[in-house]
């Protein structure tokens, strides 16, 4: 009878326990990693949707006028670019979802196979136990012991065996619950994919509409080629005047700075009176402050806040192809930022108002000095809120953007280091 008793190692419970834990941990780790990437994509999608909404407001303002305009075209181009980025992000998310669905499906298949094996093993154990652990067989098993010590060992074994069955049953139930959770997770992800496919289809339709509108605007602008050529010539004249003015202001400021430095050195060398000594210290302090501001401005590269709170770069720095006229290259000394009507313009850094003037085609203009080496230029303003020689703080409102007859509100923004033009996009924060 003793041989008929089927011994199943109670430690088998650990295999079940480890299996269940590993499956749960693996699912959680993979889910956490995927969630992190999904969260990044969701954040980027929200940023793009905000850009689309912002550009759409600007587009409505330019589109309010009956005639097609370059401002309308640049707004459309920006919206199409942002829309395409959004669609790409959705496609990335769909690819990630497909991977997640595949991973969950594989885990589910593995768990189902293991669960089936565990059920078979447990059923076999119950069948064997039913034959060997009834009351009669238990008594016979115990009293057939060769010694009292063996009797105690057999009693302990029966107790462990009973506990092992209970633990195994609990672990099987845990695996079963995990299986249910994984099935729900799989169904959820499939539904997410279905919803996301719908969103992508909708955004693709919006993109096609934008491209149709873009083609329509381009066709209308092509019909105005002669008018655009005249506008381009007028713009070039305005830009040349602006560049000449900036160069003159900077040259004059550098000349004054050189004279002040020369005077300071002369005073320092003479040291004839206490008054002169005091003046020397004052001049030295001013020069030091100016140099410090230039140094801190240079350290703020890529960290400067935008001069307007909303908008996009409609014309980039350097040589750029004209958006309509073929084989025409336009030289930009700064960037144009297309924004909303009535948008307030702010200083990008602490400084001093070096000059305020009007230039035909550029309207009102403010030039700020940041120390002795850096200047920022804000043109195409409708209104100015500061005076020449006034000290200004970063993000202080200095003016308001001008809106032309076509409904385009655009700020011309430049950064200069002495006589060198700098690319503002390298200095402004990412939006």
308 plus 349 within the same structural domain? yes
Pick the more confident residue, 107 or 198. 198
Residue 90's pLDDT is 92
Most confident of the following: 207-216, 218-227, 258-267: 207-216
pLDDT of residue 68: 79
Summarize the confidence of residues 200-228 as an average pLDDT: 89
Selected residue with higher pLDDT from 431 and 142: 431
pLDDT at residue 143 above 80?
A: no
For residue 257, count CB atoms less than 10 angstroms from its CB and return exposed for 0-12, middle for 13-18, buried for 19 or more.
middle
From 176, 206, 222, give the residue that closes a domain. Answer: 222
pLDDT in tens, 323-335: 888 888 888 999 9
Which carries the bigger pLDDT value, residue 253 or residue 36?
253
d(CA 22, CA 195) in angstroms, rounded, equals 31
Residues 271 and 330 in one domain: yes
User: What is the predicted pLDDT for the residue at 3?
Assistant: 37
User: Residue 431 falls within a domain, yes or no?
Assistant: no
pLDDT reported for residue 385: 96
Q: In angstroms, rounded to a whole number, what is the distance separating the alpha carbons of residues 133 and 160?
A: 13
pLDDT computed for residue 290 by the predictor: 65
User: Which one of 171, 195, 222 terminates a domain?
Assistant: 222
170 and 271 fall within a common domain: no
Q: Assess if residue 114 is contained within a domain.
A: yes
Query: Could you tell me if 217 and 229 lie in one domain?
Result: no
Do residue 117 and residue 230 come from a single domain? Answer: no
The count of structural domains within the chain is 2
8-state DSSP, 304: B
| 173-187, 253-267, 355-369: the lowest-pLDDT one | 253-267
311 and 193 both lie in a single domain: no
Place of tokens 């034959």: 131
276 belongs to a structural domain? yes
Question: What is the domain-level CATH number for residue 243?
Answer: 2.70.70.10
pLDDT average, residue stretch 81-91: 92
Same domain, 174 and 40: yes
Together in a domain, 150 and 233 = no
What mean pLDDT is reported for the chain? 81
In a domain, 261, yes or no: yes
Percent of the chain with pLDDT over 90: 35
Model pLDDT, residue 164: 67
Q: What is the pLDDT of residues 11-49, one digit of tens each?
A: 444 455 445 555 555 555 455 545 557 788 888 888 888
Residue, of 260 and 289, whose pLDDT is higher: 260
Number of neighbours of residue 69 by Cβ within 10 angstroms = 20
227 and 325 Cβ atoms separated by less than 8 Å: no
pLDDT tens per residue across span 294-316: 778 999 999 999 999 999 999 99
Structure tokens at 232: 């381009």
Q: Determine, yes or no, domain membership for 288.
A: yes
Range with lowest mean pLDDT among 177-186, 389-398, 400-409: 177-186
Q: What pLDDT was estimated at residue 39?
A: 81
Rg (CA), the chain: 38
CA distance 344 to 396: 10
More confident residue, 375 or 279: 375
> Do 173 and 61 reside in the same domain of the chain?
yes
> What was the pLDDT predicted at 390?
97
315 forms bridges with which residues in the sheet? Answer: 336
Which of the listed ranges 86-90, 133-137, 252-256, 328-332 does the model predict with the highest average pLDDT?
86-90
- Residues 53, 142, single domain; the answer is yes
Q: How high is the pLDDT of residue 137? A: 59
Assess if residue 1 is contained within a domain.
Answer: no
Asked if residue 2 is part of any domain, the answer here is no
Long-range contact pairs involving 173-178 (C-beta distance under 8 Å, separation at least 24) = 174/20, 175/16, 175/19, 175/20, 175/23, 175/111, 175/114, 175/115, 175/118, 176/115, 178/20, 178/23, 178/24, 178/27, 178/111
Q: Are residues 173 and 118 both part of a single domain? A: yes
pLDDT of residue 207: 92
Q: Is 301 helix (H, G, I), strand (E, B) or coil?
A: coil
Residue 364 to residue 378: CA distance in whole angstroms: 8
Are 120 and 253 within one domain? Answer: no
Q: Print the domain residue range for 374.
A: 225-426
The answer to whether residue 6 is domain-embedded is no
User: Among the three residues 207, 222, 237, which one is the final residue of a domain in this structure?
Assistant: 222
């Amino acid at each position: 009878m003793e041989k008929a008793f089927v011994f199943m190692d109670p430690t088998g419970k650990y295999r079940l326990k480890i299996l269940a834990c590993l499956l749960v941990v693996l699912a959680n780790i993979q889910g956490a990693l995927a969630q992190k990437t999904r969260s990044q994509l969701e954040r980027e999608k929200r940023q793009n949707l905000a850009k689309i909404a912002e550009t759409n407001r600007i587009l409505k303002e330019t589109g309010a006028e009956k005639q097609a305009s370059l401002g309308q075209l640049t707004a459309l181009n920006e919206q199409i670019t942002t829309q395409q980025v959004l669609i790409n992000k959705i496609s990335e998310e769909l690819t990630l979802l497909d991977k997640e669905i595949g991973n969950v499906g594989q885990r589910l298949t593995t768990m189902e196979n293991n669960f089936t094996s565990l059920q078979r093993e447990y059923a076999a154990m119950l069948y064997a136990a039913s034959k060997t652990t009834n009351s009669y067989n238990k008594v016979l098993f115990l009293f057939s012991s060769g010694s009292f010590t063996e009797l105690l060992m057999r009693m302990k074994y029966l107790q462990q065996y009973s506990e092992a069955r209970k633990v195994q049953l609990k672990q099987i139930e845990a695996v079963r619950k995990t299986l249910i959770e994984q099935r729900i997770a799989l169904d959820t992800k499939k539904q997410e994919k279905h919803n996301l496919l719908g969103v992508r289809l909708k955004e693709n339709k919006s993109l096609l509409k934008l491209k149709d509108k873009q083609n329509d605007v381009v066709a209308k602008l092509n019909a105005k080629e002669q008018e655009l050529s005249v506008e381009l010539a007028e713009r070039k004249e305005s830009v040349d005047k602006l560049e000449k003015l900036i160069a003159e202001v900077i040259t004059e400021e550098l000349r004054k700075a050189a004279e002040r430095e020369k005077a300071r050195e002369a005073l320092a060398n003479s040291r004839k009176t206490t008054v002169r000594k005091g003046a020397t210290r004052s001049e030295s302090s001013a020069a030091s402050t100016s140099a410090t501001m230039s140094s801190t401005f240079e350290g703020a590269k890529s960290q400067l806040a935008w001069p307007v709170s909303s908008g996009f770069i409609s014309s980039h720095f350097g040589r750029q192809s004209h958006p309509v006229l073929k084989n025409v290259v336009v030289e930009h000394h700064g960037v144009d930022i297309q924004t909303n009507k009535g948008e307030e313009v702010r200083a990008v850094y602490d400084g001093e108002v070096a000059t305020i003037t009007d230039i035909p085609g550029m309207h009102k203009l403010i030039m700020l000095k940041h120390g002795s080496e850096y200047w920022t230029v804000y043109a195409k303003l409708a209104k100015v809120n500061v005076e020449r020689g006034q000290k200004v703080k970063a993000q202080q409102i200095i003016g308001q953007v001008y809106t032309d007859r076509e409904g385009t509100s655009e700020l011309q923004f430049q950064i200069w280091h002495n006589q060198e033009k700098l690319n503002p996009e390298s200095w402004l924060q990412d939006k």
